[in-house]
Amino acid sequence: MRVIWSLVLVGALAAIAFAGSRAGGEAVFAVAVPYLALATFLVGLSARVIGWARSPVPFRIPTSCGQQRSLPWIRSSRLDNPSTGLGAAGRVLLEALAFRSLFRNTRAELREGGRLSYAADKWLWAAALAFHYSFLTILLRHLRFFAEPVPGFVALLQGLDGCFRVGVPTFYVSSVLLVVAAGFLLGRRLLDPKLRYLSLPADYVPLVLLLAIAASGLLLRHVYKTDLLAVKDLAVGLVTFRPVVPEGVGGLFYVHIFLVSSLFAYLPFSKLVHAAGIFLSPTRNLANDNRRRRHVNPWNPPIVGHTYAEWEADFHDKLVAAGLPLDKE
Amino acid sequence: MYDGGKILAGLAAFLALALFPFWEPAVGGRVARPEPKIVTAEKRCVRPKAEMRQSHMELLVSWRDSVVRQGQRSYRDPEGKAVTMSLEGTCMRCHPNKAEFCDSCHTALVVAPTCWECHIEPKERA
């Protein structure tokens, strides 16, 4: 049911763009909506990150998967249990680039006789990795519309991505991987009863939206081909703040650009903001040095000390009268 | 303890990277939008202009397959006229200006057609 609502929502967005552009709202969908979406994305994301930056650093949580640094003759695990900031940075970088936490994903199953078994489940990790890197490749490939002259690495990336040279225009490896991986991530939520029970519309909407974006993009490239020069005019106009409304690009193009705008505007307010949040994972980005470095919480009350010298001064006369020895002589 | 400085530096780095298309034209300069230049010998193309603009690559590949794999060189255009399937003999009779015609869009959109891996590129005046 929750996935149906997500489908309805994304379908409604697509219908709005299609009908709206047909009804003469081309300028709205080609210029106003992308600018608004980008502004929402930038301001929303910055607000989220600034909010996190204003929060105190939590106490270091040593959820480690390796030997802590201790005695010099015990080999410590520098990346899994870092004792320095550099090691922690390496752990965050590996998490962001290789998704090591997902690599540790396990699957619990009830076997016959009521025996519970856990087994490694790497499919989530593999699909997530395939999805994210395909998405990055596709995002970078779209630079060919925004930049003139196009940076050299875009041609290199396209060459690698289309190395199988299947069909004209070439089918890209990243297009296929993105659809397959996102389809797997959606299917996983739908087919596993435990995951279906846990999944909310907020889990389905991003996946359905991404699949709809991929579908509209693939259709625009391979089936209902649009006028790419007009698209480039629009993209270049947008980034140079001299927007032009393209002509003859078709309703499907407006569906694509509206869904992408929706994704960008939605990102800061949804689970997709993990793109920024992953760098602030407290169990990943803090070195395990609790025993060596003092942790000061900003809400700790100031420590009011009273030294022996001060105490002696307070009771000086009484100490002298009692004939007790004084430090201050 | 706060790590605000580091986090904001990261945010600034991301924003600078994400807004690359916006500041790149100011740094790298801009090239005018290309418009393919058509030099015609024939009155009309083998397919309507709009269709050619959209899917000429499919036609070219189907011609290639037909010629190379079946040895079949004759093509009937929509008005029933027989045309020889040949890139250099037919297409390039009207469009000999590769730099101004083919490359104008292909360069702007980073399209790398595989035509010239077998065919010889036309020699054009510099």
The ipTM is 0.89
Given this model, what pLDDT does residue A12 score?
96
Tokens of A290: 């609790």
Total count of domains within chain B: 1
A43-71 tens-digit pLDDT: 999 999 999 999 998 898 877 788 999 89
- A240–B3 CB contact, under 8 Å: no
Q: What is the pLDDT of residues B65-79, one digit of tens each?
A: 999 999 999 998 888
Measured distance CA(A41)–CA(A35) in Å, rounded: 10
Domain-located, residue B42: no
In a domain, residue B101? The reply is yes
Nearest-angstrom CA–CA distance, B57 and A312: 96
The amino acid present at A290, given as its one-letter code, is: N
Contact predicate A231/A253, CB 8 Å: yes
Looking at the domain assignment, is residue B26 inside a domain?
Answer: no
Which member of A50, A229, A279 has the closest CB to residue B108? A229
pLDDT score, position A329: 65
Predicted confidence band of residue A248 (pLDDT cuts 50, 70, 90) = confident
In angstroms, what separates the C-alpha of B97 from chain A's closest C-alpha? 19
Q: Does domain A2-321 have CATH number 1.10.240.10?
A: no
Which value, in Å, is the radius of gyration of the alpha carbons in chain A?
29
Quote the domain boundaries for residue B87: 49-109
Torsion of CA A255, A258, A263, A266, to 10 degrees: -130
Distance between B109 CA and the closest CA of chain A, angstroms: 6
Query: Does A251 have pLDDT greater than 70?
Result: yes
Q: How confident is the model at residue A138 (pLDDT cuts 50, 70, 90)?
A: very high
Out of A214-223, A302-311, B24-33, least confident range: B24-33
Helix (H, G, I), strand (E, B) or coil at A163: coil
Residue at B13 is within a domain? no
Domain for residue B120, yes or no?
no
| Percentage of chain A modeled with pLDDT above 90 | 73
Q: What's the start-to-end Cα distance of chain A, in Å?
A: 85
pLDDT for res A24: 87
Q: Specify the DSSP element, H or E, that contains B74.
A: strand B74-76
Residue B31 has a pLDDT of: 65
Distance from CA of A150 to the nearest CA of B (A): 7
The mean pLDDT of A168-183, rounded to a whole number, is 95
Interface A–B counts its CB contacts (< 8 A) at 92
Using a CB-CB cut-off of 8 Å, the residues of chain A touching B111 are 169
- What pLDDT was estimated at residue A247? 86
C-beta separation of A147 from A160 below 8 A:
no
Average pLDDT, chain A: 92
Contacts of B118 in chain A (CB under 8 A): none
Point out the residue among A42, A155, A240 whose CB comes nearest to the CB of B15: A42
Cβ-nearest to B4 among A46, A54, A233:
A54
Q: What integer is the mean pLDDT of A122-144?
A: 96
Nearest CA in chain B to A299: B1
Kindly identify which residue of chain B lies nearest to residue A235, measuring between CA atoms. Answer: B21
In a domain? residue B118: no
When pLDDT is averaged across residues A205-229 and rounded to a whole number, the result is: 94
Span B15-20, mean pLDDT? 93
The A-side interface with B (CB below 8 A) comprises 42, 46, 49-50, 52-57, 143-150, 154-155, 158-159, 165, 168-169, 225, 227-229, 232-233, 235-236, 239-240, 276, 279-280, 295-298
Beta carbons within 10 angstroms of residue A45's beta carbon: 21
Residue A87 makes CB contacts below 8 A (sequence gap 6+) with A78, A79, A287
Please give the residue that has the higher pLDDT: either B36 or A157: A157
